[in-house]
Amino acid sequence: MNIFKNRTVLGIICILLSLLICFGITPLFNESVSQKTDIVRVVKEIKTGDEITKDMVQTVEVGGFGLPENVIRKSENVIGKYAKADLSVGDYILNTKLSETMAAENAYLYNLDGTKQAMSVTIKSFASGLSGKLKSGDIVSIIASDYKKQGATVIPAELKYVEVISVTASSGFDANTGEEKAGEDERELPSTVTLLVSPEQSKVLAELETEGKLHMSLIYRGTPSNAAKFIEVQDKLTNELYPKNQDENSYSDSEEQENKNEDISEKVMGNEVQ
């Protein structure tokens, strides 16, 4: 231990360590920092759900030190995919922010074929929209209070099982999509719910939107295959209520058809809410 008490020896050791750092470790560090690599950078603002096109991104050379391992380095791995989060100009893109398929709500909007249509209804109170907990793919029942001004609260047979496409805030952006935000206070409250409905269902919804008060109750949240079973049941009932061989407008003005619809509603769905 006496050797460490000798100031000359300690000085020599410190000099040697300094030389090792200066001529050994530092060059290696500088080399790693100076290494360049290509990454894909955003040049146009991209919103959640947008399909990424060639003009939205560019490949640039940057220092490779400190970059995440999952950063995208080639533009061909980005173009044609869909953004899972908002991307600002200058952002580099991680593979966790990309999806091969379009978000469910956007897919529906682009794949409507005329048999079903998208329709939004207003959430007139926080409670009526399931307190902001609805998500794309949910199956809901629409409950109408004072239905047709008759004082009864019912679930119209046409709206027993309806699929939610999206939930939208007053700003126009989707709300409550399942993504965590910085703080609970920053979450936008839903203002409207967009539903996937048939033309017949849309007429009933329009009446409720204009004349009545509607509430939504969650029936199912889970796999798309199971959700489709509820919609299949609803479609069968709708077809029974509105036979396809009738003229589209004849039943809407027919008191006889309306009474028939009400009878079917009560017998098949048991829809009155006590």
Residues 201 and 105: their CA atoms lie apart, in Å, by: 19
Choose from 89-93, 122-126, 175-179 the range with maximum mean pLDDT.
89-93
Report the chain's mean pLDDT, rounded to a whole number: 78
Give the residue from 154, 138, 116 showing the smallest Cα distance to 238.
116
- Where do the H-state alpha helices sit in 74-140? 104-110
How many of the other CB atoms lie within 10 Å of CB of 95? 13
Q: Which residues contact 79 (CB under 8 A, 6 or more apart)?
A: 52, 53, 54, 57
Give the residue from 130, 137, 83 showing the smallest Cα distance to 105.
137
Q: What type of residue is 48?
A: T
Give the residue from 97, 105, 56 showing the smallest Cα distance to 79.
56
Q: pLDDT tier at 182 (50, 70, 90 boundaries)?
A: very low
Q: Which residue has the tokens 């560019």?
A: 58
Residues 237 and 26: their CA atoms lie apart, in Å, by: 76
Strand, helix or coil for residue 200: helix
Query: Does pLDDT of 12 surpass 80?
Result: no
- Average pLDDT for residues 234-262, to the nearest whole number? 65
Residues 43-94 pLDDT 10s = 999 988 888 999 999 999 887 767 888 899 898 999 999 988 889 999 989 9
